[in-house]
Amino acid sequence: MESLIKSLDSLYCDSLTQYSRRKTIPVRVGDVIIGGDNHIVVQSMTTVDTMDTRGSVEQCIRMIDSGCELIRITAPSLKEAENLKNIKAELRKRGYQTPLVADIHFTPNAAELAARIVEKVRINPGNYADKKKFEVIDYTDASYAEELERIRERFLPLVKICKENGTAMRIGTNHGSLSDRIMSRYGDTPLGMVESALEFLRICEDEKFHDIVISMKSSNTQVMVQAYRLLVQKLNEGGFKPYPLHLGVTEAGEAEDGRIKSAVGIGTLLEDGLGDTVRVSLTEDPEFEAPVAKALIDRYTHRAKHASIPEVVNYPITPFEHNKRQVAEIYNFGGHNVPRVITDISKVENISDREMKAVGHFYLPELDKWKMNDLGCDFVYSGSNPIPFMLPNGMKEIQNYSVWEKAPDQVNKFPLFSLSEYQKAEIFHSEINFLEVLDTEITDTISAIQGRKDTILILKTSNTHSMPALRRGFVSLIEAGSDIPVVVKVSYPDQTADMTMLYSATDVGGLLVDGLGDGILISLEKEGEHTRQEVLDQIKLHNSVSFGVLQAARTRMSKTEYISCPSCGRTLFDLQETTAMIRKRTDHLKGVKIGIMGCIVNGPGEMADADYGYVGSGKGKITLYKGKEVVKRSVPSEKAVDELIEIIREDGMWNEPEAI
């Protein structure tokens, strides 16, 4: 894949170091313009039945009030497409001009009708002209060309209607619903996703239809990031127009996990100036999506004014596939170890054993024993507030060098040095020393660590263009041939819990996706007066966000992963309630991926790489999957969770939850 990076000129973004938004053509969608010099547009999708006009209109209004600028509504058949007319008319009557987008899967006739009614139509190139049969077909070039001709015939009428009516179009590829044709030729790869869109884009360009936005969604953040980057590179190389991009992570889930996963995927691309419209998909009411999208986007309003970062001349990182940076194994960092979590507790004086539950370690006084949950951190950073009791085996303490130097126990505690301390120090820990440096100190750092096999770097930056500044630090280390493990440290003084979650997911997740980083440390630097409990709550948040970011970037699985669809007018059960119920019974199954999908039309495809699937297949009926294979059909919903657990049990993946 390295050959895809022919030179920095054909890279996927304007600059790896200076924030610069990719120049795209403007696409008008009613009163909203996507791309060009326009702001990044927030959009979302309704979840009520499209035939429920009143319910749809009321939900649209709640979404608009929460900051949504473009609303997508599913149109699974002609009758729903027809009803878009009523929804639109009622919204306009009530004074709302927000453009509407019809979401189409499998039904060209619904698309052709909707394109005459609403301002934009989204088609899925994986299923617009193809029914999924999961067949592997050995195409010759001639039979492949015949297939493309068939697509052209099926798709041309829609292109013509869009042109005549001034209707925009999104060619929205989904990783989980690629056609058998694309799967047979490219597999479910980022390249397959890109080609899937290009097949349809070429037809549009032949017809001189350019009101197009493109998306490359996946619930796998690595695949999603790679596919968007590759799309841009292919558009540039293929001489296509620079079409605007719609960014999204599919089936991100709910609550903290959904937000973190969305930020890892969407934020990583926004950092490099990609993206003209954003939808955050959460398994929550849609009015909760726009504020998250807006929070991600708003970070870039003044980004271009950041301090300068040395340019990258040769880029040693492969942006189109995940390759972990090769690092030495030092203690339990680097090598084949998972990235480590260091949790900062340095603002708590005399922390007690019971307060360690904030970092996932529980002291049970009756038994005089420690237990750990799935979010038990690997290290705590106590700064200048040494921990006054013995830690359980496995968890280690990092102290400031000035404290460690005088500590009675220099074996079981590890020192953290600044660069000047490290350069002058006479004593070091024999196994592991932590060296905290800024990205701007990287040249001196490289000289200081030369030949050392006992040091872990903690890399941080004060640059507002954080992720690229940190990434530049990694580039310098790679160029210098250093294989030192690196923990990425981020801090967000004065930010709310929600912002800390989104920003750290973007800044650290963006690096992890590219195989950079051997650990995470979210600094506890909130200023002002806080009660001890508030500080402990913040520690708990940082600890769980750290694990969440590692999981969302697919570098360390510490919890069950739920790939739940955001729901839409097709949904056959209450997704939020069902997800909560399944989570309650299964959230101890570390690393197991469970897809929870509202309908059988798109669900099986969209849950892509889930290990087990719970999919609505009729009113009160659930079809259960093991991977892509149907195991039980039409299970009554009241029995479906038990049956799902039974399937997991039969598969040997079940264990009983442990009480803590």
| Binding positions for ligand SF4, rule: CB under 6 A | 565-568, 570-571, 597-599, 601-603, 606
Of the candidates 371, 344, 400, the one whose C-alpha atom is nearest the C-alpha of residue 540 is 344
Q: Which is nearer to ligand SF4, 347 or 570 (CB)?
A: 570
Side by side, the strands of the sheet bearing 70-74 are 212-217, 168-174, 120-123, 100-104, 70-74, 41-45, 277-278, 246-247
Comparing C-alpha atoms, which of 370, 361, 375 is closest to residue 559?
A: 375
Q: Which are the contacts of 606, defined by CB distance < 8 A and separation ≥ 6?
A: 174, 176, 177, 219, 250, 251, 565, 595, 597
Q: How far apart are CA 58 and CA 511, in angstroms?
A: 40
Q: Shortest Cβ distance from residue 64 to ligand SF4 (Å)?
A: 20
Please report, for residues 29, 309, 569, 571, the alpha-carbon distance to residue 70 in angstroms, rounded to integers and kept in the order given: 9, 36, 17, 21
Least Å from the CB of residue 606 to ligand SF4: 5
Q: How far is the CB of 616 from ligand SF4 (least distance, A)?
A: 7
User: Nearest distance from residue 43's CB to ligand SF4, in Å?
Assistant: 15
User: Can you name the residues that pair with 172 across neighbouring β-strands?
Assistant: 215
Kindly tell me which of 602 and 623 has the beta carbon lying closer to ligand SF4: 602
Our CB check for ligand SF4 shows the closer of 507 and 606 to be 606
Smallest distance from the beta carbon of 99 to ligand SF4, in angstroms?
A: 20
Write the Ramachandran bin of 419: left for phi over 0, alpha for psi from -120 to 50, otherwise beta: alpha
Q: Answer yes or no: is 599 a known binding residue.
A: yes
Q: How far is the CB of 282 from ligand SF4 (least distance, A)?
A: 11
Binding site annotation covers 147?
no
Nearest CB to ligand SF4, comparing residues 487 and 596? 596
- Residue 252 near residue 219, CB atoms below 8 Å: yes
Q: Residue 638 annotated as binding?
A: no
Q: Is 60 annotated as a binding residue?
A: no
CA dist 293 → 262, 286, 287 (Å): 9, 11, 11
Task: In angstroms, give the least distance from the CB of 593 to ligand SF4.
Answer: 16
d(CA 261, CA 266): 9
Q: Which of 424, 392, 388, 389 is nearest to 405 (CA)?
A: 424
In the bound complex, what is the minimum distance in angstroms from residue 29's beta carbon to ligand SF4?
21
- Count Cα neighbours of 49 within 13 Å in the Cβ-side half-sphere: 6
Residue bearing tokens 């002609």:
78
Evaluate whether 523 touches 490 at the Cβ level (below 8 Å). yes
User: Which CB sits closer to ligand SF4, 28 or 175?
Assistant: 175
CA dihedral 8, 13, 14, 18 (to 10 degrees): -100
Nearer to ligand SF4, 172 or 603 (CB): 603
Element holding 206 (H helix, E strand): helix 190-206
Which of 572, 580, 569 minimizes the C-alpha distance to 597?
572
Q: How far is the CB of 608 from ligand SF4 (least distance, A)?
A: 11
Tokens of 278: 């954003």
Nearer to ligand SF4, 334 or 598 (CB): 598
| Cβ nearer to ligand SF4, comparing 466 with 567 | 567
Q: Which is nearer to ligand SF4, 248 or 319 (CB)?
A: 248
Residue nearest to ligand SF4 (CB): 598
Rounded to a whole number of angstroms, the minimum distance from the CB of residue 172 to ligand SF4 is 12
Listed residue (45, 46, 41) closest to 29, CA to CA: 41
Q: Answer left, alpha or beta for residue 634, where phi above 0 means left and psi between -120 and 50 means alpha.
A: left
- What does the buried/exposed string (b/e) look like for 262-278 if buried means 16 or more CB atoms within 10 Å of the residue's CB? bbbbbbbbbbbbbbbbb
* SS3 label, residue 385: coil
Q: Minimal distance in Å, beta carbon 346 to ligand SF4?
A: 43
CB 322 within 8 A of CB 532: no
Measured from the CB atom, is 517 or 566 closer to ligand SF4? 566
CA-based end-to-end distance of the chain: 46
Tell me whether residue 68 or residue 541 sits nearer to ligand SF4 (CB atom).
68
Residue ranges of the annotated binding site for [4Fe-4S] cluster are 565, 568, 599, 606
Q: Please give the annotated binding residues, written as ranges.
A: 565, 568, 599, 606
